[in-house]
Amino acid sequence: MAAIAVRHCVHSTAGPAAAAHGGSRRHAAPSAALRLRPNSAARPLLRTSPSTGAPMRRSYGVLRVKTQAVAEVGHTFRITETMDALRAAGKKALIPFIMAGDPNLETTAKAIKVLNDEGADVIELGVPYSDPLADGPVIQEAATRALLDQGTTLDKVLAMLTSIKGDISAPLVLFCYYNPIMRRGPDLFCEQAKAAGASGLLVPDIPLEETHEIKAIARSHGLELVLLCTPTTPVSRMAKIAEATSGFVYLVSVTGVTGVRTKVATRVEELVQSLKSVTDKSVAVGFGVSLPEHAKDIVEMGGDGVIVGSALVRALGGSSSPEEGLQKMTETFKALRAATPN
């Protein structure tokens, strides 16, 4: 895929200044804002139900279903627990990302088990989507292979997770664009994701202002919603994102898409400190992290977690066989684990 800068994905939390975007939108899942926007430039009107006091949103002329008060009794939010425990012990989280269905779902299941057994603190699993705007060539190609070559579907991904959930101790975050969630219905999606063993959800293409409902629904099922910040996010908006996120703040280290890069952006330390000036939640850094040296740099810059995607996805899905891919992915992850204090 052509390298396209993050806009609708990470400006979901970063705001309109995140970056310019120049890629095809023919198959894209429109953001909630674009999907509901009429010709006028009307802004959302917020109000509360006169009977329950629960928030109701009339967004771009469309009245949404009101969000009822959410009962969270009995839910354990494992991502927050994990990140808080690591930080209290002076340790750093290593968070790998792989794409479901690449090279096939059987190998994905084996890879998740390997990452879990080799010490992943949290695992991100991508749900393949036809227009992954936040992702660079490596992950987009993996999604394409999963969709076209393997016929991977959301139902198949959830069935695979269900089959291995008893073997996985690390919390798992589903990285999913909003279109599949919208098509299934957020409540059913979250119910099924939780039943399959997920602990969290990351939806890169909805803006902060549109996350209230999905967050409430997710938490009602025991899922945490992780939000993103970018290098162009103003500190005032960082504070709002940090307040709304659960588990950790995902700090995008570069203005652009995911991908393998030669070094960590020089601004990361400044960005980490800016976030930590407005929140006591953990800050995990991703996008462009691929080498052990990158992990060490992020730790030295004050990051609480290191997120690695493209390097693992390329090793796993770009090899000559699934067996070779698993071996290369394992070696890559072990080197990163050794560089990240645990």
Which positions ≥6 away from 293 have C-beta within 8 Å? 263, 339
Active-site entry in 124, 224, 297, 304: 124
Element of type H or E holding 338: helix 322-339
Q: 84 catalytic, yes or no?
A: no
CA 256 to chain centre: 15
SS3 97: strand
Q: Examine the residue annotation and report whether 124 is marked as an active-site residue of this protein.
A: yes
Q: How far is CA 135 from the centre of its chain?
A: 11
Q: How many residues does the chain have?
A: 342
Beta bridge partners of 95: 307
52-58: long-range contacts (C-beta < 8 A, 24 or more apart)?
Answer: 55/212, 57/212, 57/213
- The catalytic position among 102, 121, 131, 135 is 135
Cα dist. 95→213, 223, 278 in Å?
Answer: 26, 17, 23
The residues annotated with a catalytic role in the active site are 124, 135
